[in-house]
Amino acid sequence: MSFQDLLLQQIINGVSLGAMYALLALGFTMVYGIIELINFAHFNVFMVGSFVAMWIMGAMGIVGQSEVLYGLPLVGVLLVTLIATMLITGLLGVLIERVALRPLRGVAGTAPMITTIGLSYILFNVILLAVGADSKNYTNPLPRTHWEIGEAVLRLRELLLWGISIGLMVVLHYFVRGTKMGKAMQATAQDPEAARMMGVDVDRVVAMAFFLGSALAGAAGMIFGLYYNFTSFIIGYTAGLRAFTAAVLGGIGNIPGAMLGGILIGLIESLGGHFIAVRWTDVIIFSILVLVLVFRPTGLLGRAAPTKS
Amino acid sequence: MHISDAQQQPERRPLLEFSDVDTYYGEMHVLKGVNYRVGEGEIVCLLGGNASGKSTTMKTILGIVTPQRGTVTYAGETINTLPTADRVRKGIAPVPEARRLFPRMSVLENLYMGAFTREDKAEIESDLERVFGLFPRIKERLKQSAGTLSGGEQQMVAMARALMARPKLLCMDEPSMGLSPLFVEQVFDLIQAINRQGTTIFMVEQNANMALSIANYGYVLQTGEVVLSGSAQSLRDNEMVRQAYLGELKVAAH
Ligand SMILES: Nc1ncnc2c1ncn2[C@@H]1O[C@H](COP(=O)(O)OP(=O)(O)OP(=O)(O)O)[C@@H](O)[C@H]1O
Ligand SMILES: [Mg+2]
């Protein structure tokens, strides 16, 4: 394989990973932007999402990887699975916020963050007990269609995953920019007390941030399964930490930043993994996390200084 | 210790009343059994030193803090525990201390945030025109992000934003803070203009001279207690107010 083709192949892989990290990073960033909380439960909402999507496909009678769908049935199955998964994980996020985090709202210090770590463990163990410790083959009805560009291969599944990610990000963008709820979210992120004084129901805004973030995590979980062809109770940590790094790299609290950070981390993982060594990717990614936190804590697209008074 | 003034305020229907209100932050007792009465159509001003509880009074009216004892009545209804959003819908709007604009939103977006609880689109647009009439300079800055405006411009936008709620009661917390004397005069002229259009105003001010010159009635708050109240004129004549708030201490000491 020529160098160019190798590079192209790794970029295709990197963008695919990056699109998934971006979806996951958006959840971290939205919740942080609004209540300045790092939600570690998010890792495992993603993991739960990947199982939920598999169960939903199972409920529609699709199991394993031998059954391949084309055309309208394929689009239908994917769409139903995506929407149902996002609804379920979105509601899981709302439940987490309502039951475990809202009572702690306004409590200073790390108590709410520690609570999210506890919640993350609960989800982790519930799935471990429910499905066992071995990794599961993922349901995958996608045809094996692919295109060759030189010696690089672009598979239909990659195009599809990019499409889903980009579509969701565009919808999110217009939701935040163009709707009243989106405006309320922006206002709350900039000054929660002033937003409240304008008549914004801050509790609803926080619940909405959890819903959207967790729904996107569910979508990312489904994408993970379709991309890697397996899932396991353990997938939340690696992907979650990388997505978290992506959010920090882009500027935590910043929505376009999370998208950019996600793609960059995906590219670093695939290019670094190929041209340096796979065992070094984690070192590289977490060095980036540390370097960003030390030298540019606001991230690439973050604001120069906090403007809250 | 409450010295009430003999001159009664004219009998207008009360729009807002505090009776024996106690407000706390955790253990800290901030408002201690205060009573206020703001009549419909009046300008009432609240004077007091730093940390006396003036902003806390405003936050109690808006429902950002809830009183532990006593009652807050608005338009004949007890609103002690009413959520802030419902108060805004009923016509209470703030011009908060230090303006508190949304810094990364444009001026226009900030103005629309003022109308957040309203659904009457056409009316909102006509209110926008009315607000531009009062604050012509805002119209030139609609696209600029609010955080980059000068302090004076921010104050104008903060007042305009509050008007976009179509308030019956405007709660202003130190509207003249940090403004040059010329600008202060403009702000007070605008407050009077807003009042003449029918909005009741409850205003916290350090600039006692100016505030009392446009107010009907005033209260003086000291460490959470109302120590003095009366018509604006009577407060201006009061020895204690003159010394503490009208800057005549030095004159007296000479
Ligand atoms: N959110 C809060 N939590 C705890 N204490 C508070 C809070 N807000 C205000 N306080 C305290 O309550 C007291 C009264 O504060 P308040 O802001 O009402 O004073 P103020 O009269 O507006 O003063 P200033 O003229 O300086 O604005 C102060 O001692 C202040 O430190
Ligand atoms: Mg104050």
Closest CB from A180, A190, A309 relative to B98: A309
Mean pLDDT of A186-203: 96
Burial class (CB in 10 A: 0-12, 13-18, 19+), B113: buried
pLDDT at B2: 55
Report the atom number in ligand 1 closest to the C-alpha of B48: 21
Among A147-161, B37-51, B208-222, B239-253, which is the least confidently predicted range? B239-253
Q: Find, in chain A, the residue whose alpha carbon is nearest to that of B166.
A: A198
Mutate to test the interface with A, among B87, B104, B121, B171 (most CBs of A within 10 A): B104
Instruction: Measure CA B197 to chain center.
Output: 16
Q: Find, in chain B, the residue whose alpha carbon is nearest to that of A181.
A: B116
Q: Which pLDDT band, with edges at 50, 70 and 90, does B10 fall under? A: low
pLDDT at B8: 52
Residues with CB under 5 A from ligand 2 (ion): B 54-55, 97
The better pLDDT of the pair A64, B252 is held by A64
Angstrom distance (rounded) from CA A131 to CA B163: 58
Among A2-11, B111-120, B238-247, which is the least confidently predicted range? B238-247
Among A105-119, B56-70, B163-177, which is the least confidently predicted range? A105-119
pLDDT at B253: 44
Smallest-distance ligand from the CA of B53: 1
Mean pLDDT of B213-235: 95
Residue whose Cα lies nearest atom 11 of ligand 1: it is: B51
> What token pair was written down for A207?
């619940």
Angstrom distance (rounded) from CA A170 to CA A157: 20
pLDDT at B247: 67
Residue B124 predicted with pLDDT over 60:
yes
pLDDT at A307: 40
Q: Find, in chain A, the residue whose alpha carbon is nearest to that of B162.
A: A198
Nearest by Cα to A255 from A193, A170, A188, A164: A170
The CA distance from A189 to the nearest CA of chain B, in Å, is 9
Mean pLDDT of A150-172: 92
Pocket test for ligand 1, best of B18, B29, B54 (most atoms within 8 A of CB): B54
Mean pLDDT of B219-247: 90
Asked if B85's CB is within 8 angstroms of A200's CB, the reply is yes
Q: Tally C-beta pairs within 8 A across A and B.
A: 63
pLDDT at B248: 58
Ligand 1 centroid, distance to B221 Cα (angstroms): 13
User: What DSSP letter does each residue of A222-250 carry, written as one string?
Assistant: HHHHHHHSEE-TTHHHHHHHHHHHHHHHH
Residue B88 predicted with pLDDT over 60:
yes
Q: Is B186 in the pocket of ligand 1 (CB under 6 A)?
A: no
Coil, strand, or helix at residue B68?
Answer: coil
Q: Is B51 in the pocket of ligand 1 (CB under 6 A)?
A: yes
Residue whose Cα lies nearest atom 17 of ligand 1: it is: B55
Under 8 Å between Cβ of B173 and B95: yes
Under 8 Å between Cβ of B125 and B131: no
Residue B193 predicted with pLDDT over 90:
yes
The CA distance from B139 to the nearest CA of chain A, in Å, is 21
- Could you give all domains of chain B from N- to C-terminal order, each with its CATH number? 3-91+167-252 (3.40.50.300), 103-166 (no CATH)
Angstrom distance (rounded) from CA B77 to CA B63: 14
Ligand 2 centroid, distance to B56 Cα (angstroms): 7
Whole-prediction pTM value?
Answer: 0.90
Residue A114 predicted with pLDDT over 60:
yes
Q: Which residues of B touch A (CB under 8 A)?
A: 62, 64, 83-85, 88-89, 94, 96, 98, 100-105, 109, 112-114, 116-117, 147, 161, 165
Q: Which pLDDT band, with edges at 50, 70 and 90, does A241 fall under? A: very high
Mutate to test the interface with A, among B62, B84, B169, B170 (most CBs of A within 10 A): B84
pLDDT at A2: 87
- Could you give all domains of chain A from N- to C-terminal order, each with its CATH number? 3-295 (1.10.3470)
Residue A38 predicted with pLDDT over 60:
yes
Angstrom distance (rounded) from CA A98 to CA A107: 15
Q: Is B30 in the pocket of ligand 1 (CB under 6 A)?
A: yes
Q: Which pLDDT band, with edges at 50, 70 and 90, does A139 fall under? A: very high
Residues, chain A, total? 309
Residue B4 predicted with pLDDT over 80:
no
Q: Is B56 in the pocket of ligand 1 (CB under 6 A)?
A: yes
Asked if B89's CB is within 8 angstroms of A186's CB, the reply is no
Residue A129 predicted with pLDDT over 90:
yes
Asked if A307's CB is within 8 angstroms of B101's CB, the reply is no
Asked if A198's CB is within 8 angstroms of B114's CB, the reply is yes
Give the other-Cβ count within 10 Å of A295's Cβ. 7
Among A128-137, A273-282, B65-74, B143-152, which is the least confidently predicted range? A273-282
Ligand 2 centroid, distance to B216 Cα (angstroms): 21
Residue A288 predicted with pLDDT over 60:
yes
Q: Which pLDDT band, with edges at 50, 70 and 90, does B242 fall under? A: confident
Residue A309 predicted with pLDDT over 50:
no
Mean pLDDT of A168-190: 94
Q: Which pLDDT band, with edges at 50, 70 and 90, does A297 fall under? A: confident
Q: Which pLDDT band, with edges at 50, 70 and 90, does B240 fall under? A: confident
Q: Is B53 in the pocket of ligand 1 (CB under 6 A)?
A: yes
pLDDT averaged over chain B?
A: 91
Residue B249 predicted with pLDDT over 60:
no
Residue A304 predicted with pLDDT over 70:
no
pLDDT averaged over chain A?
A: 92
Angle, helix A41-59 to helix A111-131, in steps of 10 degrees: 30
Asked if B113's CB is within 8 angstroms of A198's CB, the reply is yes
Angstrom distance (rounded) from CA A117 to CA A43: 10
The CA distance from A248 to the nearest CA of chain B, in Å, is 20
